[in-house]
Each structure stands twice: as structure tokens, then as C-alpha cells.
């Protein structure tokens, strides 16, 4: 069948989708993928037909503040609001028009989009298509059992939690993010649709929602919609290409290996990578950091640096991973049974950090810019206490029971058949 795929211009949204699309193409489906120009080669490698976004909604996430000046100098809540406006809400009408043109020309039977693609959500209202979604972060669907996404509050079971959550939904969606809600509804009207009573936070796929993790990573919900499917993590296969020159040091190391990474969006190395290198310089560990070596002219003797490292090949050797909480990296670490130290301070990363701590598979530092002493203490604790690795391995065992691309494609084909 002919399917339309849509992703916003973020690497963390495109990478997991590639594994699903490659499986769909292998099964004989004709896939048209609407995405940012920079991802064209990676998309065509899946076998999908690539349709680039227009310059009006295309931007490069490698330097997000240059691409989206409204984000410059923003931190905390003001940055979150600026990101919601510039990345997702303001482009939604233009995204819709471009998707409508593709649909009218190609006549696909369904659209599969990442959870943040509001143009795809509008398309599901303007064209008779099935709408399938792929989660690219922790589960955002509102629930009476879970505090509003973005609050990063711990899970609180029972009636006390439900009362807290109900109040917080009103405060956050109607007050704290009232301007975001107004802008979202204004954009709906600009698209020719009713304003509605929903908010940006209520948007999720109508017919099928694929969540690329296991249910144990998420807080318990009694009101989870029936069309949500936990498919396990979308983890790329190990690679023997692009290995750094020091790769042999990994196999020969008699010290625990600690990986530090900041993912693909919040990449200022002064926030996490550089403090970690300094904090662990005299510790009995081997530190692997994903950073351009030119940015660290005098690295500690126990550090190995590279701008790109194939995590799927590295993680089986890693004793602990320090991360700012990117969803894909966290899922990859847990799939390998690696416990985590999460310093999440931007986007949805505090939510992911909370979930890691809740599972027992790691520590939440509760900041995106941890002090060196705090990092050192956290690494020592993670390596000394076996409970963290035991919890990570428990999650890894559950994840190993899944084949995420296959399960995603099976669910999509079932959705198309009904």
C-alpha cells in the first residue's frame, strides 16, 4: 500500500522512524517521506521516496539557535515555550498545505508521523486518511494517573496523585501555557478548521500510536487508550564502520568504561561533557565522550574522544552512561542493560530523567548543568551499588523480547486492514 510519512526537522525524530520505514519498504509498501532537506540521503537509503519540505518550514537542527532565532538566550520555561512556538505550532499550517498537495497528487491511504508533527494532525481532519503516530519521547498522552507532561513531577499513585494531577492540568494548560494554547487554536483557525477546545498537549494519533519502549519504562495508567502499542525500543544494529582509531582501548581496558553524551539537540559541551571529563580525570575509569576532539585540546589521559561513536557497538562494553536525557540514547542504553546518570535540563529531558530514576535503573541529577563534584559522586554511586545495573538488566531483558520495527509494521498493516 501507499503510505505517507512525515517528520519534523529533528534528528531524534527521523532516526527511529527510519527503522520503521525500512521495514515497511521491505514488505513491499510504497512509502513517500516528507521531511527536512538534510535528511534526504538517509531517507532514500531506506527505500522511501523523499519529498523535501519547502524552505518556509525547513531548518537545520545542528545549529538550532541560528535556524530559529526566537530560541536565542532562552532557558527554562521560556525556552520550552519558544520551542513549542517556533518548532511545532507556527509551522503547522504550512506543513498542512504541503502535505495536502502530496496527498492530492499521490493518494496514500494513511499518514504515519512523529508525535510532534502538527501538520499531520491537521491533515487527518482535512483528508480521509488513517493517522498513525510514532512516539519519539516519553509518553505524552494526558492521563488522570500522571502529572502533566513537562512538569517532571514524580509518579504519585492513588487518589492523592489524581487530585494533584487534575489541579496541575488546569494550572499548566490553562494558565502557565495559556498563550501556547491560544496560538495553537489560532493556527487551527488559520488552517480553516474550528478553533476547538483542545490544547497542543492533547494532540496524538487517532488510529494507532506506536510507543518505542516497554510498558515498564512508563508510569502506570488506568486510562491508556486502547490504540497505544508498546513496541520496544527502536535501536539500530551494531556497526563496524566509522570506528575511532582508539577503539582497541575498549576491549583492552581493565577499568569500568563510562560514556558521556549530549545527543543531537542540546549540544553545548560546557553543560555536561566538559564538566564530566574534568570531574572524572583522576577516577579509575575510562571515559568515552562524543565530542569533536578539537574542542578539547588537552584531554585527560583517561578520556577517549570522537564526534561520532556507534553506540550499538559500544554500549555492551559500558558500565555507566552519563547523558542529558535524549530519549533515543536512553532507550539504547537500557536495551544494553547500562545504568544511567541523567542531567536533563531542557526540552522534555527532565521527564525522561524522572522515569529513569523511577525504574531504579539510574540517577536523576535534577539539573542540566551539574557540578563536577555531583557528577563524580554520582558515578561512584552508580558503579558501587549493583541495584542500578540489576534494574537496567531487568529492563533490557523485557526489551529483548521485542522486535520494534517488525511490531510497528505489523500494527500498521493491521490498522490498514481495519
Q: What is the pLDDT of residues 56-103, one digit of tens each?
A: 999 999 888 888 999 888 877 888 899 999 999 999 999 999 999 999
Task: Specify the pLDDT at position 64.
Answer: 86
Helices (H), 30-149: 40-44, 64-67, 76-83, 92-106, 118-126
| 15, pLDDT greater than 70 | yes
Reported as a pLDDT band with limits 50, 70 and 90, residue 267 is low
Sign of CA dihedral 174, 179, 183, 189: positive
3-state SS, residue 307? coil
Instruction: Identify the H or E element spanning 114.
Output: strand 110-114
Identify whether the C-beta of residue 229 lies closer than 8 Å to the C-beta of residue 407: yes
Distance CA 269, CA 109 (A): 44
Could you say which DSSP state residue 55 is in? T
Distance CA 96, CA 189 (A): 13
Identify whether the C-beta of residue 95 lies closer than 8 Å to the C-beta of residue 6: yes
User: Which residues 6+ apart lie within 8 Å of 97 measured at CB?
Assistant: none
Grid coordinates representing 328? 533515543
Grid coordinates representing 11? 534528528
Task: Specify the pLDDT at position 126.
Answer: 97
Instruction: Identify the H or E element spanning 4.
Output: strand 2-6
According to CATH, the superfamily of the domain at 248-400 is Glycogen Phosphorylase B; (3.40.50.2000)
3-state SS, residue 418? coil
CA distances from 65 to 61, 179, 362, 381 (A): 8, 22, 31, 36
Tell me the fold of 2-232+402-417.
Rossmann fold (3.40.50)
What spatial distance separates the first Cα and last Cα of the chain, rounded to whole Å?
14
Could you say which DSSP state residue 228 is in? E
Q: Per-residue pLDDT tens for 311-326? A: 889 999 999 999 999 9
Task: Specify the pLDDT at position 342.
Answer: 97
pLDDT higher at 198 or 92: 92
The Cα diameter of the chain in Å comes to 64
Judging by beta carbons within 10 Å of its beta carbon (0-12, 13-18, 19+), is residue 237 exposed, middle or buried?
exposed
3-state SS, residue 169? helix
Identify whether the C-beta of residue 382 lies closer than 8 Å to the C-beta of residue 361: no
| 239, pLDDT greater than 80 | no
pLDDT, mean of residues 281-296: 95
| 113, pLDDT greater than 90 | yes
User: Which residues 6+ apart lie within 8 Å of 294 measured at CB?
Assistant: none
Task: Specify the pLDDT at position 262.
Answer: 86
Identify whether the C-beta of residue 133 lies closer than 8 Å to the C-beta of residue 113: yes
Task: Specify the pLDDT at position 241.
Answer: 74
Q: Whole-prediction pTM value?
A: 0.93
Name the β-bridge partners of 212: none
Give a three-class secondary structure readout of 204-215.
CCCCEEEECCCH
Sign of CA dihedral 219, 222, 223, 226: positive
Task: Specify the pLDDT at position 263.
Answer: 67
Q: How many residues comprise the chain?
A: 418
Name the β-bridge partners of 211: 230
CA distances from 359 to 194, 254, 289, 349 (A): 41, 29, 25, 16
User: Which residues 6+ apart lie within 8 Å of 143 measured at CB?
Assistant: 165, 219, 221, 223, 224
Reported as a pLDDT band with limits 50, 70 and 90, residue 264 is low
| 256, pLDDT greater than 70 | yes
Grid coordinates representing 30? 510504497
User: Which residues 6+ apart lie within 8 Å of 247 measured at CB?
Assistant: none
| 266, pLDDT greater than 60 | no
Grid coordinates representing 358? 523511577
Domain extents for the chain? 2-232+402-417, 248-400
Q: Choose the weakest-confidence range: 26-35, 135-144, 385-394.
A: 135-144
347-350 contacts at long range (C-beta below 8 A, 24 or more positions apart): 347/80, 347/83, 347/265, 347/266, 348/137, 348/138, 348/140, 348/149, 348/150, 349/266, 349/324, 349/325, 350/152, 350/325
Amino acid at each position: 500500500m501507499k503510505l505517507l510519512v512525515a517528520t519534523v526537522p529533528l534528528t531524534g525524530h527521523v532516526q527511529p522512524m527510519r527503522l520503521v520505514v525500512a521495514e515497511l519498504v521491505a514488505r513491499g509498501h510504497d512509502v513517500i517521506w516528507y521531511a527536512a532537506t538534510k535528511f534526504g540521503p538517509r531517507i532514500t537509503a531506506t527505500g522511501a521516496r523523499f519529498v523535501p519540505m519547502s524552505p518556509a518550514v525547513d531548518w537545520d537542527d545542528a545549529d538550532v539557535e541560528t535556524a530559529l532565532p526566537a530560541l536565542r538566550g532562552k532557558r527554562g520555561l521560556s525556552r520550552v515555550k519558544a520551542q513549542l512556538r517556533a518548532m511545532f505550532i507556527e509551522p503547522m499550517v504550512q506543513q498542512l498545505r504541503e502535505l495536502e498537495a502530496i496527498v492530492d497528487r499521490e493518494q496514500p491511504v494513511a499518514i504515519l508521523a512523529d508525535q510532534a508533527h502538527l501538520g499531520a494532525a491537521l491533515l487527518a481532519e482535512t483528508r480521509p486518511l488513517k493517522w498513525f503516530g510514532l512516539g519519539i519521547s516519553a509518553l505524552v498522552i494526558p492521563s488522570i494517573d500522571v502529572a502533566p507532561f513537562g512538569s517532571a513531577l514524580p509518579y504519585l499513585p492513588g487518589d492523592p496523585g489524581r487530585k494533584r494531577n487534575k489541579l496541575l492540568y488546569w494550572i499548566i494548560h490553562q494558565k502557565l501555557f495559556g498563550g501556547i494554547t491560544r496560538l495553537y487554536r489560532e493556527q487551527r483557525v488559520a488552517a480553516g478548521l474550528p478553533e476547538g477546545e483542545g490544547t497542543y498537549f492533547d494532540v496524538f494519533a487517532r488510529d494507532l500510536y506506536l510507543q518505542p519502549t516497554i510498558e515498564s519504562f512508563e508510569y502506570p495508567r488506568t486510562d491508556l487508550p486502547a490504540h497505544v502499542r508498546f513496541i520496544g525500543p527502536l535501536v539500530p544494529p551494531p556497526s563496524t564502520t566509522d570506528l575511532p582509531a582508539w577503539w582497541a582501548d575498549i576491549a583492552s581496558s581493565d577499568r569500568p568504561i563510562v560514556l558521556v553524551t549530549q545527543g543531537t539537540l542540546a549540544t553545548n559541551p560546557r553543560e555536561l561533557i566538559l564538566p564530566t571529563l574534568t570531574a572524572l580525570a583522576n577516577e579509575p575509569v575510562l571515559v568515552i565522550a562524543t565530542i569533536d576532539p578539537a574542542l578539547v585540546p588537552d584531554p585527560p589521559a583517561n578520556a577517549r574522544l570522537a564526534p561520532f561513536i556507534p553506540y550499538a557497538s559500544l554500549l555492551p562494553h559500558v558500565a555507566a552512561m552519563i547523558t542529558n536525557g535524549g530519549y533515543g540514547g536512553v532507550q539504547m542504553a537500557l536495551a544494553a542493560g547500562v545504568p544511567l546518570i541523567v542531567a536533563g535540563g531542557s526540552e522534555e529531558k527532565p521527564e525522561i530523567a524522572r522515569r529513569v530514576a523511577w525504574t531504579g535503573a539510574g540517577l536523576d541529577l535534577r539539573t542540566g548543568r551539574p557540578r563536577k563534584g555531583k557528577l563524580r559522586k554520582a558515578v561512584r554511586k552508580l558503579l558501587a551499588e549493583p541495584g542500578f545495573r540489576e534494574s537496567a538488566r531487568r529492563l533490557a531483558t523485557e526489551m529483548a523480547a521485542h522486535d520494534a520495527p517488525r511490531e510497528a509494521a505489523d500494527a500498521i498493516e493491521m490498522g490498514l486492514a481495519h
